[in-house]
A = this chain, B = another copy of it.
Amino acid sequence: MFKFAAQHKPGTAPATLVTPDRAATPPVITLIEYDVETIEEKKMARIEDLFGCKTSGKVSWINIDGVQDGEMLRAIGAHFGLHPLALEDVQNSCQRPKIEEYADHLFIVTKMVYCDEKRVASEQVSMFLGRTFLITFQEQGGRDVFEPVRNRLRNARGFARTMGNDYLAYALLDAVIDHYFPVLETIGEMIEELEDELLEHPTRDSVGRLHELKRALLQLRRSAWPERELVNTMARDEMGLIAHETKMFLRDCYDHAIQIMDVVESYRDLTAGMMDLYLSSLGMRTNEIMRVLTVVTSIFIPLTFIAGIYGMNFAEMPELKWRYAYPVCMVVMVLIAIAMLIYFRRKKWL
């Protein structure tokens, strides 16, 4: 089912951060600092260790897996000057992808989609892009689409190292958006399979799976539409946080977002037609069953009636005594049956 932002009760104060369960796995904090020449990766135990990085002169990318700990969010927010309403959205995992401008940072919420045993699932990734830092929050650790980006950073001669934190934000966003494609590919394959099944031997189960598929597309569409808007807004940034060169790359990313929308809409169109495919296939089968019933009944009921007549016990039934009455009667029956078969064959019911 679709989840939505109902984590706090209606009427509670805005910007409320919660720490639902202390026993939950603690957040994993990683800091990557790099410039053209050096790169340093550190795992942090305490949040306070991060606070030096703001003035290091390098690009600082802080990645935090797990957003359950309200205390930690508050501490980071206070140090980096992040807006409390944005921090609330980090924790509330039912946001639509969006971008918001705050006094000195951009707040980006995006949805990382993936396929789990043929079910589409998504995880919220939030980013704060400031002048000198980039902070990313992932709902859970484990699943991570950022590894290829890290590898590009680690490559000493990589282009990524020559660019600022805005390019890093673009690269991460691009990784998230490009990750829609394998999901769409899986769905495309499922559609093709289901189409063949519906045309050839639909089962009760097919309809359930078609409905499942529609729902998955609905979900993808819900997160993909605003993704496109997000990239567009980011490319038009007027705060000076995004360099002109990065905007060129965002245009490319925007193209991908449009392609995703395009494929999602095409798939929706296809699945819409597939229910008709199923219903027509069902109708065709009922029709065939009826045909068999009608042919069998129409042939044997008249014959049974004739047999019934000569089973009557009237005292005076002259035919009963004729010598060849029985074989004649049988021949007549066979002729009737043949006539019927020819009639139905003409009607193309056989």
Contacts and interface: CB of A to CB of B under 8 A. Distances in A.
Contact of A11 (B148, B283, B285, B292): B148
Interface string A289-303: 111111011101111
Interface string A307-326: 11111111111011111111
Interface of A: 1-2, 4-6, 9-14, 83, 85, 88-89, 94-96, 98, 100, 145-149, 152, 158-160, 171, 174-175, 178-179, 181-182, 184-185, 188-189, 191-192, 195, 199, 201, 204, 207-208, 211, 214-215, 218-219, 222, 248-249, 251-252, 255-256, 258-260, 262-263, 266-267, 269-270, 273, 275-287, 289-294, 296-298, 300-305, 307-317, 319-326, 329-330, 348-349
A147 B313 CA distance: 87
Contacts of A282: 280, 283-284, 287
A251 B100 contact: yes
B289 A294 contact: yes
Contacts of A293: 290, 293-294, 297-298
A323 B318 CA distance: 11
Shortest 9 CB-CB contacts between residues of A and residues of B: A11-B148, A307-B308, A10-B178, A310-B312, A6-B181, A293-B294, A11-B175, A314-B326, A311-B311
A222 B294 contact: no
Given A1-B192, A184-B4, A320-B313, A287 B289 contact: yes
State how many copies of this chain the complex holds: 5
A59 B24 CA distance: 42
Nearest to A83: B248
Nearest to A263: B4
Instruction: Say whether chain A's binding surface is mostly helix, strand, loop, or mixed.
Output: helix
A145 B9 CA distance: 11
Nearest to A146: B11
A215 B291 CA distance: 32
Contacts of A323: 316
Given A11-B179, A201-B348, A214-B269, 5 more contacts: A10-B175, A11-B149, A14-B252, A199-B211, A290-B293
